Homo-oligomer: A and B are copies of this chain.
Amino acid sequence: MHYAEMLIRRLRSDTHFSNDDATAIKALPLHVKEVPEETPIAREGDHPSACCMIVKGFACRSKVADTGKRQILSFHIPGDIPDLQSLLLKTMDHDLVTISAATLAFIDHSDLSRLIDARPTVARALWRETMIDSAVFREWIVNLGVRSASARMAHLLAELRQRMAAVGLVSDGEFQFPVTQAKLAEALGLSTVHVNRVLQDFRGKRVLDIRKNLVTLTDVAKVFAAGGFDPTYLHQVNGAHPG
């Protein structure tokens, strides 16, 4: 199976590639690697020489403040290229770590560089990916800045569901997602105790449930409403994923 197809499909969601563009992408040398849970892909201060696409599994980006507290900045799912920014910013300003066993397809910066210099359309599609990443960060700022604990939780899960759906990983309102309450707390700027209580509340109200790597949105409409979720910022062009 050709992993480059996955990349092309992703970038094509908004952009039309010529045959030459597609050929150039398919010609990219990919280095596929299977890694276990909690594998650091890049650490703050590193100077990576490759980017990676997540083929299978999950990762998150995080940053440790001087107080020692860790803040999770984003979660990443199959199809994402979570460290594309390292192509332009030579020093990592945060960590990127897998949160499950994962299959990663690495692309050397040198190859990517050549590609984007030669093929403006591809460059633009990749740039656009990083801009959506940026839009998600903006929404997380809103999430942390103005929403209550329960709204934050609902919003985070609504976003995740929406992105998972776009790659066909949601069925029956359920999706695999390997996250502990401690990680949710680090993503939402809450204590684990409070996360636990918020979850219990949602569970009791039959809105959503998280049980051992499985997120169930019992009532998606209520989740969206509780989080004040408007998917516009994800800039998804197509609706649901075909099968």
Contact = CB atoms under 8 A, between A and B. Distances in A.
A134 B132 contact: no
A93 B189 contact: no
A128 B88 contact: yes
Given A71-B146, A146-B71, A130 B134 contact: yes
A66 interface: yes
B128 A127 contact: no
A67 B228 contact: yes
Instruction: Give this chain's copy count.
Output: 2
Interface string A123-135: 1100110111111
A142 interface: yes
A141 B142 contact: no
A218 interface: no
A231 to B, nearest CB: 10
Interface of A: 61, 63, 65-67, 69-71, 73, 85, 88-89, 91, 93-94, 116-117, 120, 123-124, 127-128, 130-135, 137-142, 144-147, 151, 186, 188-189, 228, 230, 232-233, 235
A173 to B, nearest CB: 22
Contacts of A146: 65, 67, 69-71, 189
B144 A66 contact: no
A85 B137 contact: no
B189 A88 contact: no
Given A65-B146, A127-B130, A138 B228 contact: no
A142 B151 CA distance: 19
A131 B65 contact: no
22 contacts: A63-B139, A65-B228, A67-B147, A69-B146, A70-B146, A71-B145, A85-B134, A85-B135, A88-B127, A88-B131, A89-B128, A89-B235, A91-B232, A116-B124, A120-B123, A127-B127, A127-B130, A130-B130, A134-B137, A141-B141, A141-B144, A145-B188
